Structure 1
Amino acid sequence: MAEKEIPGIRPYDNPAGGWGALRATARAVREQMDAGEAAVTLLRTNKPEGFDCPGCAWPDKKHTSTFQFCENGAKAVTWEATNKRVPPTFFAAHTVTSLLGWTDYQLEDQGRLTHPMAYNAEKDIYEAIGWDEAFARIGEILRGLDSPDMAEFYTSGRASNEAAFLYQIFAREYGTNNFPDCSNMCHEATSVGLPHSIGIGKGTVSLDDFDHCELIIAMGHNPGTNHPRMMGTLHEVAHRGVPIIVLNPLRERALERFADPQDPWEMATLGSTPIASTYLQVKVGGDAAALKGIMKALLEMDEAAGPDSDVIDHAFIQQHTRGFDALAADLRNTSWTAIEAASSLSEASLRAVAAAYAKSNATIVTYGMGVTQHITGTQNVQQVANLLLLRGNFGKPGAGICPLRGHSNVQGDRTVGITEKPTAAVLARIEQTFGFRPPAAHGHDAVAAMQAIIDGRSKALICLGGNLAVALPDTEACLPAMRGLELSVHVATKLNRSHLLTGKHSFILPCLGRTERDQQATGPQAVTVEDSMSMVHASRGKLTPASEALRSEPAIIAGIAAATLPGSRVPWMDLIADYDRIRDAIEAVYPDFENYNERIRVPGGFRLPLPPTERIWNTPSGKAEFLCFSGLNEDPVLVDPSVLKLTTIRSHDQYNTTIYGLDDRYRGVFGRRDVVFMNRDDLAERGIEQGDEIQVETAFGQGKERRLSKLIAIAYEIARGSVATYYPEGNCLVPLDYHDKSSGTPSYKSVPVRVLRASAS
């Protein structure tokens, strides 16, 4: 029987990239900017004298290239550099209550914020306010809190190193280490897990390593949407004939085949390049089981080969690691039956991956939030490290671990101090540099911050970018809690839903974007960012600011700080007059930034130290650690066959919580986001047909049930037992306390749910 036609659902048979990407780029330009201005702006993207793309954190390989942006990068640039404006007259014409009825896409699509605004509760509107008055009012409220720990200082990965550094200095001088950060919601499992394994919470590979690798294992990520410039690298690797083994619950077009818009032959012939040589659809939440299966097969191959086996690098393990015997014992005690059940992958397929891995002398494992956003995220990451350690895949060309970060400086803001757990050494250097003693007690991460707001223990929230209330899980708890704040301050380029969840005193402070000229007292300024491979480089906006009233993020932070701390020992105005002075201070607090100002003036910048690349392990033992994970299936409720695992995903027309449009081209969804992707057999088992209206409800029990209704079921190539829906719409199904206890990362990617036809609910 033919499947019913569903509005907006139709097959998309073209490869990722190609002419589809170019058409989408042209449409993004047409909707937001003048074509000529857009062309000049895009050609400055990711150039030594231009600006760093405000999108993904994938590094730039050739800094002299004339084409260093992708479709989603172009969307990010034109979305920020848009000609659309949101002046004070817009707010005068729309109450906050009425704006709450708009979609997230509609809110951001109005354009750039132009003036600082303060909420007038009596009129239910935002009204223009002068910068000095805004700073004075914010400072007065912050000084009036009973404790500095009643304030939360949130940071988005969009912030530059300079802004992030000043922000953490301000909050610590104010007296708190409450630093909820967007990292807490994505790769905190990496930041927490890898230091225990290899001594640093970052990836260890460079782009050059992709030129020398002999195998890539890609886990839990969709590069065509979330880090599109990676596709050029995978395209090159595939052309070298290097195997790329993908483990991912959904079939993703970019991991199947890709047409590089910079490849004249592929564009002219409508050709494409196969990316994955092997594609294994692991069950949602089954990553650790799959990794243990690969390692178990590797161990069995090694033991079968005898004492002279080179399947496992015993010399490396002896010299550089601890804990191998315990890992081997755990792998032997884990049955293949349990591994197959938890991963949904066969023993034979995992043995084939192990065989390919054993043949490779240089392997890179790349992974995304499909690995980290689980209640076992930290342990998942450590199993990736275990796999690489078994064959000595650290400290040699073409090998290493590659966590795929999101925003272009989400890694950098952590490097320069946005952390709720500062080390004693860093605190001592802050005191030596600025003359005040910062607090030592650990502060709040993102989940803890929202829990404190919900409980009424925190009364002020300062947001350096982002859309915190929408990004966090447990929408029904988070959104109302924001209204109970004494103070909310949002430094932003565009309007979003968090700005409308007004507390007693709420402010929107518009800032310069990455593309815009930053003019300070000593002249035009550059900021710096760190990409996902620890390269630090300069970014210089060239566009005329969207409004003469805009200020830079460093200037806004300095203004709030000076007004809040009239006796501050930090020379705030002097620092923002010349950003070189901020970088000098960063260098004083963080020695890895030696000769900072000199090195960022070199095209391409410089790389921060990564000790594992030299086989130096900054762990307590001085060695890399094999860390066991005895679990395979973290949710006992899944013994019930009616329970599925839900993962939230991004569409191709969005970046984090920013919705550029309503299409998800590669998955065949156009003009809508109200869908749930399901395996055909799971649909049939529940008597559901494609196009049926369904309800998704959680299966936690214990009073934690949550529901999402008025969704449409879509048959898709996804692993049995797994379902997917869009983020952030699906966040309402994730309890705030359903997170990785080691890192605090919410479990957006493995929520136990039941799916019911609407008529059966």
Structure 2
Amino acid sequence: MADERPPSRPSGAAPEALSSIDPTGAVDAHAPKQWAAGLPAVVNSFRHGVDQMGLPRTARVFGRLNQTQGFDCPSCAWPDPEAGDRHVAEFCESGAKAVAWEATKRRIDREFFARHSIDGLDGQSEWWLGQQGRLTEPMHRAPGASHYTPVSWDEANAIMARHLTALPTPDDAVFYTSGRTSNEAAFLYQLMVRAYGTNNLPDCSNMCHESSGTAMTEQIGIGKGAVTLESLEQAELIVIAGQNPGTNAPRMLTHLENAKKNGAVIVAVNPLPEAGLIRFKNPQTPRGLVGPGTALADDYLQVRLGGDHALFRAVGHLLVAAEQSAPGTVVDRDFLDAHTAGYDAYVDAVREIDWAATELATGLKRSEIDALAKRFTESKATVVCWAMGLTQHVHAVMTIQEIVNVLLLQGNIGKDGAGPCPIRGHSNVQGDRTMGIWEQMSQKFLDDLGAEFAFTPPTEHGVDATATVTRLRDKSVRVFFGMGGNFAMATPDTPVVHEGLRACDLTVHVSTKLNRSHTVTGTEALILPCLGRTDRDATPRGHQGVTVEDSQGQVHLSQGRLEPPSDLCRSEVAIVAGLAERIAPGVGSIDWPALSQDNDLIREHISRVVPHFEDYNARVRVPGGFLLPHKPRDLREFDTPSRKAEFIAGSVPMLEVPDARLLLQTIRSHDQFNTTIYGHADRYRGISGNRRVVLVNPDDLHRLGFHQGQVVDVVSEFEGTDRRAEGFTLVSYPTAEGCAAAYYPETNVLMSADHVALRSNTPVAKALVIRFEAR
């Protein structure tokens, strides 16, 4: 049998460059590091580059990464410095891994798929799938077939059109989007989906960042952060809650170091000690390479999972009490009177506090909370940053609003060095939303889109990512289309999602590399190979560039330079336009063939539909691009019903954790980006060899009767239903007491699609009630 042959080495891979055997082995655990980056970051960056691309290609690619005449990093959404202030090596270790992974010289061809059945591929790890190389031609799984076989683009479009046009309603199809999609592809994608007749446009933001947007839109009228790079470096106090910049946004460390040099105090709030928040060795400086680096966090508060809400409520209580004791010394009365609503109700809500309950909820001492409040009172310009450590809780929206309340008290928005600063993940997740990738876009956006293209977009809201999982569970999704990403592994209730995808009539994935979603197929399936951010996109209209929006609202141009993996790889824009011609023919006045070849033409349409993108083509060609307006940041104006920033303060719920149970948060390792696994080493946390580990406080291990190195099953408990992740090794680790941590996507099986953040519908991944069962 073909599947009994050992996994092959993809063409283009040197024998020493790629082992065909997954390196997973026994867990090797050491004490976590007390600093991040330095020379090891440089070595690992170039090791990944050379292993995947070879030395000449690595030098060429890294030299263009995040440069004004180069291409944007496909990893995180951290903003770039001004055009004249960039380093020659304007990238981090995580970005280097992402680029090497995409720009690899390894290739997957039709012979690879002939050797490996779909079931055989499904038996491989996420790491192994991603290591095989770039996809080079469209592949088709026919009904009942065991293997993918080549298919032409015309045939692929015909297959998709046959399924989509035969559905009783367009709402039986779901169109998912990853945050790496460019502005141009995202705009065209949502146009195609709405011309087809549905708003079923779930995206990765639903699962990660929706809580931030929901919270801030209600309070300040916009769901985007209000802090620029320059402003961050001017802050007197920076509080970083539920974020690990050393792994997830390493370039942020440089700007934290700059802020520190300018006199900023930095406070870390995180259950896990993270090396990047303790000390940073800047690889761009001699002090960072061979010296001690820079200590970042002045205080490190190891808050209990879910305790951030109670923490910031307590800070608000202390600030209000201090103001009442010494009027005019703590809060900004002029700002409050001119620009906010609901202050008196907020004061009433925070006037009394149960300190015993607060200490229990936060896991912190009263003295630690008092000290944090004192940091706020002493600061005249404060930034609070957060990420998924806050957004993926049941009460995430209320927690973020509690943070914004505290910022509003002292007028910390709309001035230098101050404001809310949510840290986004994927490189263009914010831009995708700006371009219309949302299941509930405003009526104004839909009206403007319809006016531009002479059709009537559907107005009924579509499904988000969590609702898509629910529909997959109910077997009511007939066609699933994924524009990038790895939906099969990124979502909660993994077995349910896999069963639902396999029940679809057709699954389609637009991808650069293999992942699990290609092995969990519908009755019929397609893999469509697309160009990556590093690839040159040459059309009859010339060399095409794309644009992206970073997490602080800067829009800039990105142009790939590498020869595509094959002549059969198409841009996401071309893929969308080719399908749209088949499933939305004659809808409105949309010239799909012209749009498929000319990103300038797409940008002209965007300039007339999307607010603040006037003169798009000219402005984006200015080196560094342009900054989108942000009324709260720029003008202290707020698009809320009251036209003011809103204090919103409800009750502070306390998580109930039964005896012999812990709270689990899912996390990334240092060798991954979302569901993409680059290796099996979490260098900063001292873990290597195996990803199936659980980090547990040593006192909890002793209390529960388990020990370091013991292999257990992890069982989550939600509404009377147990979910099980088998064969995890326990690692004694200095996390907050009562808390544990484990890597996703391996532990997404423990999450329930019904366990979501109130109002944002984001899956809960950061406070799962779990128990261990010995094997």
Shorter-chain TM-score bucket reads: over 0.9
Helix, strand or coil at the partner of 2:351: helix
1:185 matched to which residue of 2? 207
Out of 460, 471, 495, the position equivalent to 2:514 is 495
Aligned equivalents of 1:572 and 1:180: distance in 2? 23
Q: Letter of the 1:228 partner, please give it.
A: P
* Aligned residue identity for 1:331: V
2:401 to 382, 388, 409: 382
Deviations 1:218-262 (A, max 9, x none): 000000111111111112222333110010000001111110000
Identity %: 45
- Correspondence 1:194-205 to 2 at 5 A: 194-205=216-227
CA contact (8 A) 2:233 2:256 kept: no
Which one of the candidate residues 635, 654, 662 is aligned to 2:672?
A: 654
1:338 corresponds to: 357
How many Å separate the matches in 2 of 1:12 and 1:320? 45
Letter in 1 for 2:739: S
Deviates more, 1:251-260 or 1:564-573: 564-573
Contact 2:32 2:275 survives alignment (8 Å): no
1:375-454 alignment, distance < 5 Å: 375-454=394-473
- Is it true that 1:212 corresponds to 2:230 in the alignment? no
Given that 2:715 and 2:770 are in contact with CA atoms closer than 8 Å, whether structure 1 keeps it comes out as yes
Cα offset, 1:332, TM superposition: 2.0
Structure 1 residue 62 displacement after superposition: 3.8
How far does the alpha carbon of each residue in 1:703-741 deviate from its partner, in whole angstroms, 9 at most, with x for none? x11112211111111111100000111111111110113
Q: Measure, in 1, the Cα distance between the counterparts of 2:537 and 2:282.
A: 34
What letter matches 1:327 in structure 2? Y
**Aligned-partner Cα distance in 1 for 2:772–2:700:** 10
Spell out, residue by residue over 1:428-468, the C-alpha distance to the aligned partner (whole angstroms, 9 max, x if none).
11111001100101110001112112212221111100001
TM alignment of 1:77-476, pairs within 5 A? 77-269=99-291, 271-305=292-326, 308-476=327-495
Q: Secondary structure at the match of 1:420?
A: coil
When the two structures are aligned, how many residues end up with a matched partner?
747
For 1:624, the equivalent position in structure 2 comes to: 645
Structure 1 residue 97: Cα displacement: 0.5
Shift of 1:6: 7.2
For residue 527 of structure 1, what is the aligned residue in structure 2?
546
1-structure distance, mates of 2:697, 2:668 = 18
Q: Corresponding residue for 1:70?
A: 92
1:606 aligns with 2:623: no
Q: 1:35 aligns with which of 48, 55, 58?
A: 55
- What is the identity, as a one-letter code, of the residue corresponding to 2:564? P
Q: Distance in 1 between matches of 2:26 and 2:136?
A: 41
Q: Distance in 1 between matches of 2:592 and 2:222?
A: 32
Asked whether 1:729 is paired with 2:746, we answer: yes
Does the 8 A contact of 2:287 with 2:293 survive in 1?
A: no
**Does structure 1 conserve the Cα–Cα contact (< 8 Å) formed by 2:666 and 2:743?**
yes
User: Structure 1, residues 661-704: CA drift from partner, whole Å, max 9, x if none?
Assistant: 000000001121011001111111012111111222123342x1
User: In the TM superposition, what is the alpha-carbon distance from 1:12 to its structure 2 partner?
Assistant: 5.2
Letter in 1 for 2:579: I
Q: Identify which range, 727-736 or 319-328, moves more after superposition.
A: 319-328
Distance in 1, matches of 2:472 and 2:690, equals 33
1:697 alignment partner in structure 2: 715
2:511 is the counterpart of 1:480: no
TM-score, normalising length from structure 2? 0.95
Out of 679, 695, 706, the residue aligned to residue 688 of structure 1 is 706
Return the letter of the residue paired with 2:553.
Answer: S
User: Residues 409 and 668 from structure 1, CA distance in 2 versus in 1: closer, same or farther, beyond 3 angstroms?
Assistant: same
Is 141-150 or 419-428 further displaced after alignment?
419-428
Q: Which residue of 2 aligns with 1:558?
A: 577
Shift of 1:70: 0.7
Residue deviations 1:544-584 (CA, integer Å, cap 9, x gap): 00111100000000001111122233111111221111001
Deviation at 1:323, TM superposition (A): 1.2
The separation in 2 between residues aligned to 1:376 and 1:511, in whole angstroms, is: 38
1:57 aligns with 2:74: no
CA distance in 2, matches of 1:701, 1:435: 48
1:664 to 671, 674, 682: 682
In 1, Cα distance between the equivalents of 2:559 and 2:96? 17
| Greater CA drift, 22-31 or 158-167 | 22-31
Q: Say whether the 8 Å CA contact 1:678–1:723 is kept in structure 2.
A: yes
Q: How far apart, in 1, do the equivalents of 2:356 and 2:90 lie?
A: 47
Equivalent pair of 2:716/2:723 in contact (CA under 8 Å) = yes
Contact 2:244–2:274 (8 Å) recurs in 1? yes
Residue in 2 aligned with 1:645?
Answer: 663
Greater mean alpha carbon deviation, residues 253-262 or residues 239-248: 239-248
Q: Secondary structure at the residue paired with 1:365?
A: strand
CA deviations 1:391-414 (Å, max 9, x no partner) are: 000111111111000011000000
State the match for 2:14 in structure 1: none
Indicate conservation of the 8 Å contact 1:170/1:561, yes or no.
yes
**Greater alpha carbon shift after TM alignment, 561-570 vs 510-519:** 561-570
Q: Report the CA distance shift for 1:6/1:545 in structure 2 as closer, same or farther (over 3 A).
A: closer
2: distance between equivalents of 1:708 and 1:540?
Answer: 42
Tell me the secondary structure at the aligned position of residue 432 of structure 2. helix
- The residue that corresponds to 1:45 in the other structure is 65
Of residues 587-596 and 433-442 in structure 1, the stretch that sits farther from structure 2 once superposed is 587-596
User: What is the CA-CA distance between 1:309 and the residue it aligns to?
Assistant: 2.6
Give yes or no for contact 2:718–2:752 (8 Å, CA) kept in 1. Answer: no
Equivalent-residue separation in structure 1 for 2:129 and 2:375 (angstroms): 49
CA distance in 2, matches of 1:252, 1:232: 16
Which residue of the partner structure matches residue 675 of structure 1? 693
| 1:509-561 deviation per Cα after TM superposition (whole angstroms, max 9, x unaligned) | 00000001011121001100000000000000000001111000000000011
State the alpha-carbon separation in 1 of the partners of residues 319 and 638 from structure 2.
Answer: 24
Amino acid at match of 1:173: A
The 2-side partners of 1:420 and 1:128 are apart by 33
CA distance, structure 2, for counterparts of residue 223 and residue 35 of structure 1: 28
1:754 and 2:775 correspond: no
Counterpart AA for 1:200: I
Instruction: Tell whether the 8 Å contact from 2:34 to 2:278 is kept in structure 1 after alignment.
Output: no
C-alpha distance in structure 2 between counterparts of 1:332 and 1:545, whole Å: 62
Equivalent residue, structure 1, for 2:614: 594
Q: SS at the partner of 2:373?
A: helix
User: 2:186, 2:435 within 8 Å by CA — same for their partners in 1?
Assistant: yes
Determine the C-alpha separation between the residues in 1 that align with 2:562 and 2:137.
18
Counterpart in the other structure of 2:21: none
Distance 1:565 1:173 in 2: 6
Measured on the aligned residues, the alpha-carbon RMSD in Å equals 1.3
Partner of 1:740: 757
Matched, 1:615 2:636: yes
AA at the equivalent of 1:315: D
Structure 1 stretches lacking a partner, 5+ long = none
Aligned residue for 2:297, secondary structure, equals: coil
Residue pair 1:339, 1:632 contacting (<8 A) in 2 also: no
